[in-house]
């Protein structure tokens, strides 16, 4: 095993890592936003809206992420083509991002829903009593408290997402893992590059979840 050969490739690997992180941050942002909307729909008093949100969540939770990535990679350009009527070239990155956002939203939705439900109904009543509208009560009173409570869970889910971004390998996007794989193959040291990639994922995930656990303890006090 010769790990010194990895050094010259570090700039490329860093490039791959940047793509991974960019994908992660955008997917977390979009996923949490969409997930929150879904959670509010699920908790709405309209059976139609809550039923639709529930169907969305159940649907995405019962299929593999890899299937969504693969499908969206093929389907998103075609759908855009139908909608806009002209051929739009969208890259693998965009279709992957859409896939992650929509898939993760189902998981974030469940976390946010549990978070909202953990806030006592007295809080909502108190907000109404002060004359707030539903939107105000959610935005100013319920969601800030709920997000505080569920922050550890949201972060844990995001750490899982960080690891799952490696699945973009399936559509050939040059993320950190794929970059390491292809560099390793070119240089002829696939094992070293694979171990290195695994170690980097491990250090980041392990470090992040240790921090989350600490945060969890602090919030629990």
Partner 1 sequence: MNYNWDWNVFFKSTGIGSEIYLDWFVSGLGWTIAVALVAWSVALLIGSLLGVMRTLPNKTLASIATAYVELFRNVPLLVQLFVWYFLVPDLLPEHAQIWFKQELSPTSSAYISVVICLALFTAARVCEQVRTGIQALPKGQSAAAMAVGFNQMQMYRHVLLPQAFRIIIPPLTSEFLNIFKNSSVASLIGLMELLAQTKQTAEFTANMFEAFTLATIIYFVLNMSLMGVMGWVERKVRVPGMMGGGK
The residues of the shown chain that bind partner 1, judged by CB under 8 A, are 59, 61-67, 70-71, 74-75, 78, 81-82, 163-164, 166-167, 169-170, 177, 181, 190-191, 194-195, 197-198, 201-202, 205-206, 209
Shortest reach from residue 203's CB to partner 1, in Å: 8
Shortest reach from residue 82's CB to partner 1, in Å: 5
Residue 43 main-chain phi, psi, to 5 deg: -90, 0
* Residue among 42 and 181 whose Cβ is closer to partner 1: 181
Tokens of 77: 């350009």
Shortest reach from residue 55's CB to partner 1, in Å: 11
Shortest reach from residue 89's CB to partner 1, in Å: 17
* Residue among 150 and 197 whose Cβ is closer to partner 1: 197
Shortest reach from residue 51's CB to partner 1, in Å: 16
If you search the block for the tokens 């936003």, which residue do you land on? 33
* Residue among 63 and 126 whose Cβ is closer to partner 1: 63
User: What are the angstrom distances between the C-alpha of 215 and each of 148, 150, 151, 204, 208?
Assistant: 11, 11, 9, 16, 10
Return contacts of 167-172, CB within 8 angstroms, 24+ apart: 167/65, 167/66, 167/69, 168/23, 168/69, 168/92, 168/96, 170/66, 170/69, 170/70, 170/73, 171/69, 171/70, 171/73, 171/92, 171/95, 171/96, 172/92
Shortest reach from residue 140's CB to partner 1, in Å: 34
* 1 CB-near residues (< 8 Å, 6+ apart): 191, 192, 195
* Residue among 68 and 138 whose Cβ is closer to partner 1: 68
* Residue among 144 and 172 whose Cβ is closer to partner 1: 172
Rg (CA), the chain: 21
* Residue among 119 and 204 whose Cβ is closer to partner 1: 204
């Amino acid at each position: 095993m010769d790990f010194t050969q990895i050094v010259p490739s570090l700039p490329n690997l860093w490039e791959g890592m940047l793509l991974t992180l960019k994908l992660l941050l955008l997917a977390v942002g979009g996923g949490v936003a969409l997930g929150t909307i879904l959670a509010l729909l699920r908790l709405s008093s309209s059976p139609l809206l809550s039923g639709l949100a529930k169907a969305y969540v159940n649907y995405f939770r019962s299929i593999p992420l890899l299937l969504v990535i693969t499908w969206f990679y093929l389907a998103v350009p075609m759908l855009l083509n139908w909608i806009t009527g002209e051929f739009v070239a969208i890259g693998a990155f965009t279709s992957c991002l859409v896939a992650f956002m929509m898939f993760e939203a189902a998981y974030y939705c469940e976390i946010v829903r549990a978070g909202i439900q953990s806030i006592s109904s007295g809080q909502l009543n108190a907000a109404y009593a002060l004359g707030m509208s539903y939107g105000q009560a959610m935005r100013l009173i319920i969601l800030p408290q709920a997000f505080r409570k569920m922050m550890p869970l949201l972060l844990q889910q995001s750490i899982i997402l960080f690891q799952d971004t490696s699945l973009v390998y399936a559509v050939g996007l040059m993320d950190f893992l794929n970059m390491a794989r292809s560099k390793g193959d070119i240089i002829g040291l696939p094992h070293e590059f694979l171990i290195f990639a695994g170690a980097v994922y491990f250090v980041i995930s392990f470090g992040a979840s240790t921090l989350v656990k600490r945060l969890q303890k602090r919030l629990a006090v």
